[in-house]
Structure 1
Amino acid sequence: MHDDFGLHCLHAFSRVVPASCFAFYRVDAQFRARDFQLLRMDARTHRDYLDHYRDFDPLQPALCRDERHAVVPLREAMARQAGDSRRIYQGFLVRHGIRDVVEVIAHDRQRPVVGISLLRTGNLSPFDSEELQRLDGLRGLLDLAVRHLPDAPSAQDGLTGFTPREQEIAFLLREGLSNKELARQLDLSLATVKTHLIHLFRKTGVRSRTELVRKLFP
């Protein structure tokens, strides 16, 4: 049901405001984007974003919590960003030919719960003020829709008894990171990563990373 909801949202937005590609995601308790669903987005672009640039994204949910400003253009978000982070993220945009991005955040009880990213590449012009107003109208409908969805199970519910580091690794495993990528992102040795994985397997009674993700994030 939740997967259908995300896909319906993507198709609805694509009919109202044109863009090269779209992404739907949920916002977890740590204000991180999770459970992405993509429409016309190149998988390599998305993987590069997750592996190297998401922490430099000025449109990430943790930086777009204000319910009064739930439609956020890239230019507005980058204006608030520190210089180093802005240069790094600009490198990502140039690398993948992304000309403009708008983030639409839906809230429930003043908390961001889902978001939709609209990206323009190639010869498409940046989003104009009229398009932003249309997106704001859709955002109001999205707010109403998410308030009537059944509550999704909290990812934290399945992580009781895990250390903070084990929880962090579990969330990154859900994003599909390899052991080497885990080690690099968390600044750990490969041996330490493997030790954490062994502890996770023992605590959950599984034998593989795939089983672990399925058990923790059904």
Structure 2
Amino acid sequence: MHDDFGLHCLHAVSRMVPASCFAFYRVDPQLRARDFQLLRMDARTHRDYLDHYRDFDPLQPALCLDERRPVVPLRDAMARQADASRRIYQGFLARHGIRDVVEVIAHDQQRPVVGISLLRTGELAPFDAADLQRLDGLRSLLDLAVRQIPAYPTPDRAPLEGMTPREQEIALLLRGGLSNKDLARQLDLGLATVKTHLIHLFRKSGARSRTEYPL
């Protein structure tokens, strides 16, 4: 059902608001984008984003929630971004020829459930006020539709018992698929310190490695 729903959403939005490519995703309980479906997007661009840039994206679901708006253009999101993060993300945009992005977040009882990213490259002009107005109208319909989607499963917190606060934080970030380097950057820790925390975390959970850790 999820696959069909995501594809229907992408095709409906693409008919209403032109863009070079689109991405549909679900929002997990940690407000991370998961289960992506792509329309006309280069897989290498998406992989580069996931591997190196997603933590610098000012349009992450958690940050869009801070905007308190369901339709957020890139220029507004970047305006409140730290200079260092903004420069890194601008490098990603330039590298892949992305001129503009707008994010549409659908909610169920004020909880973000799914999101759609619209990206413009090449000769397409940035999104204008009319585009944003059309997307807001589509978002209202999307809010109604997402009520039919089963809730994203809430992670079991039982395995977190007996862990230090830092280990609990790392355990939750692991569920988001972060690499060791991403963990170090997100937590402002050295890579060796992150590896030490992971060793303790795996020992307490009974796992011998990241691949055995219960996500």
TM-score range, shorter chain: 0.7 to 0.9
Deviation, structure 1 residue 114: 1.9
Gaps of 5+ in 2: none
Equivalent position of 2:89 in the other structure: 89
Equivalent position of 2:39 in the other structure: 39
Equivalent position of 2:170 in the other structure: 169
User: Deviation digits for residues 60-106 of structure 1, max 9, x if unmatched?
Assistant: 22222268631111122223434443333222211221101010011
Contact 1:67 1:107 (8 Å CA) reproduced = no
Equivalent position of 1:149 in the other structure: 149
In 2, the alpha carbon distance for the partners of 1:154 and 1:179 equals 24
- Structure 1, 71-80 or 169-178: larger mean CA deviation: 169-178
User: Deviation digits for residues 144-189 of structure 1, max 9, x if unmatched?
Assistant: 1122322221135465425443444345444544445544554545
Deviation, structure 1 residue 54: 2.9
In 2, the alpha carbon distance for the partners of 1:98 and 1:16 equals 20
- Equivalent residue runs for 1:104-183 within 5 Å: 104-157=104-157, 159-161=159-161, 162-183=163-184
TM-score (norm 2): 0.78
Contact 2:55 2:186 (8 Å CA) reproduced = no
- Structure 1, 7-16 or 119-128: larger mean CA deviation: 7-16
Equivalent position of 2:7 in the other structure: 7
Count of equivalent residues: 214
- Runs of 4+, deviation exceeding 6 Å: none
In 2, the alpha carbon distance for the partners of 1:157 and 1:46 equals 30
Matched, 1:74 2:86: no
Equivalent position of 2:210 in the other structure: 209
Question: Is the alpha carbon distance of 1:125 and 1:149 closer, same or farther for their aligned partners in structure 2, counting shifts above 3 Å?
Answer: same
Question: Is the alpha carbon distance of 1:193 and 1:83 closer, same or farther for their aligned partners in structure 2, counting shifts above 3 Å?
Answer: closer
Question: Is the alpha carbon distance of 1:154 and 1:184 closer, same or farther for their aligned partners in structure 2, counting shifts above 3 Å?
Answer: same
Contact 2:23 2:38 (8 Å CA) reproduced = yes
Contact 2:29 2:152 (8 Å CA) reproduced = no
User: Deviation digits for residues 86-137 of structure 1, max 9, x if unmatched?
Assistant: 3332222112211010100111222322211111112222123332222112
Deviation, structure 1 residue 138: 1.3
In 1, the alpha carbon distance for the partners of 2:115 and 2:121 equals 20
Question: Is the alpha carbon distance of 1:34 and 1:164 closer, same or farther for their aligned partners in structure 2, counting shifts above 3 Å?
Answer: farther
In 2, the alpha carbon distance for the partners of 1:66 and 1:188 equals 25
Equivalent position of 1:23 in the other structure: 23
Residue aligned with 1:58, SS:
coil
In 2, the alpha carbon distance for the partners of 1:83 and 1:77 equals 12
Q: Percent identity?
A: 82
Residue aligned with 1:65, SS:
helix
In 2, the alpha carbon distance for the partners of 1:178 and 1:76 equals 29
In 2, the alpha carbon distance for the partners of 1:58 and 1:180 equals 19
TM-score (norm 1): 0.77
Residue type at the aligned position of 2:106: A
Question: Is the alpha carbon distance of 1:182 and 1:110 closer, same or farther for their aligned partners in structure 2, counting shifts above 3 Å?
Answer: closer
